[in-house]
Amino acid sequence: MQLKLKDLLGTSEAFILEHRILNAITIVGVFLTLFFSATNYFAGLPIVTVYGTLFSAFVCALIHIYSLITKNFKYHYILAFGFFVFVFLPLFWTINGGSQGGTAYYLMFIFAVLKITSRNRNHLFFSISTFVVLTLLIGIEYNFPSIIIGYNTREERFIDISLSLFIALIAFSVVLEIFSTSTVEPLTENYYKK
């Protein structure tokens, strides 16, 4: 049996455009975090960075499987952005050099996807939540700099930030490709209440 892209993203009959975009994000999240697990390991970064990225890959895979099984956009949205805002962002902020690392690129990507995929009040909640989490992370980093895992060399920082930038751009390109090649289906509030 040949696996097709629509099997991973969901058909347009069963999934609205925003839901397919979130499915794509979780798939991309799995592969990107697996990639980072390998690069962090071979770069000799602290083992917590390897485990952190593996954990993120596992959670993204679970969220994606949940989405395909239940076809529930509302809870997929809450699970996906809840994870990325409340777990992924603080974790990678800590293990990737804080404000001196590449996590800011992922934050911009998360925010852009949030804007594209939200049609209801979830957008306001996660926008405020993201600002609160980011403010707390900056404040904690400023007051307790020792909890941030920094870079040993300038080369490590350069490689991490460069990879983060390219990966965020690639992931955003995937989202825009899905968005530009799909039609936006009419949506009622009942869809969110499934």
pLDDT tens digits for 106-131? 888 777 777 777 766 667 777 888 88
**Assigned token pair, 173:** 């390109």
Residue 53: which domain range?
14-179
Predicted TM-score of the model (pTM): 0.72
Residue 110: inside a domain: yes
Segment 3-22, tens digit of pLDDT: 555 666 666 667 777 788 78
Establish if 8 belongs to a structural domain.
no
How distant, in Å, are the alpha carbons of 34, 79, 101, 177 from that of 61?
11, 12, 25, 22
Say if 150 falls within a structural domain. Answer: yes
Token code pair at residue 132: 């609160």
The number of folded domains in the chain is: 1
Q: Is residue 62 part of a domain?
A: yes
For residue 142, what pLDDT band results from cuts at 50, 70 and 90?
very high
127 in any annotated domain: yes
Provide the pLDDT for residue 188: 43
